[in-house]
Amino acid sequence: MENRILENNPLQPETVTNEIPAKPQDDTAARKSKANLLCYISLSLFIATILLFTGTCLFFILFDYDIGHFGMKITSILGSFSYEASWVLVIVARAKYRENKFAKKLLIIYIAITVTAAVILIAYIAYCLYTCATCYMPG
């Protein structure tokens, strides 16, 4: 049936067979490119968050109260914006381009980094509290 239609069709068969599969491929490539762009922006923002967090620590360690406290506030605000924006973008990529593997992997990496950072922070605080509680000062 399909062959008969193609035989009777005045259009060139090559033209028909070339055009029909070409469009979904273009769509797939465009979707992949859009999803990857979202993921790269998200990843850049996540890396910026790590740099800003390092900046917060440096302000705390290296500067006196006035400059250090002001710098910590600025880096904290910028860091929270970039951190939240990175999550928003990766979730947009996951929601709109469900087939994209990069978005899926990136989301798993974000979850893993956030959980690891939280565990390290809790362990560090527990260590500090334990050290303070068991501190022995002779004399």
Partner 1 sequence: MKIYIPELAWSPYGLLVLSSVAIGFAAAVYLMRKSGVTKNTIRYTCLLTAVFTVTNSVVVNRLMNEDPGALGFSGLGAVVGMILGVLISGLIFRDKPESVMASFIATAPLMYGLAKSGCLIGGCCHGKEYEGPLAIVYSGANGGSYFPAQIVDMAVFIAMFAVNLILVKKMKNKLTAIYVILAALTVVRFLLEYLKYYHDGSLIASGQVSVLIAGAASVVLVTVWKFLLGIGKEPA
Amino acid letter at 97?
A: Y
Near partner 1 by CB under 8 A: residue from 26, 27, 84, 99: 84
49: which residues sit within 8 A by CB, 6+ positions away? Answer: 79, 82, 83, 86
Q: Are the beta carbons of 103 and 38 closer than 8 angstroms?
A: yes
Nearest-approach distance from CB 77 to partner 1, in angstroms? 7
Near partner 1 by CB under 8 A: residue from 29, 47, 88, 112: 88
Q: How many residues bind partner 1 (CB under 8 A)?
A: 26
Decide if residue 97 touches partner 1 (CB under 8 A): no
31: which residues sit within 8 A by CB, 6+ positions away? Answer: 97, 99, 100
What is the footprint of partner 1 within residues 36-75 (CB under 8 A)?
60, 65, 68-69, 72-73
Binding flags for partner 1, 100-129, as an x/- string (CB under 8 A): -----------x--x-------x--xx--x
Tracing tokens 């302000």 back to the chain, one arrives at 59
Decide if residue 80 touches partner 1 (CB under 8 A): yes
Burial class (CB in 10 A: 0-12, 13-18, 19+), 136: exposed
Near partner 1 by CB under 8 A: residue from 22, 77, 109, 120: 77
Token code pair at residue 132: 């303070």
The number of residues in the chain equals: 139
Q: Footprint of partner 1 on this chain (CB under 8 A)? A: 60, 65, 68-69, 72-73, 76-77, 79-80, 83-84, 87-88, 91-92, 94-95, 111, 114, 122, 125-126, 129-130, 133
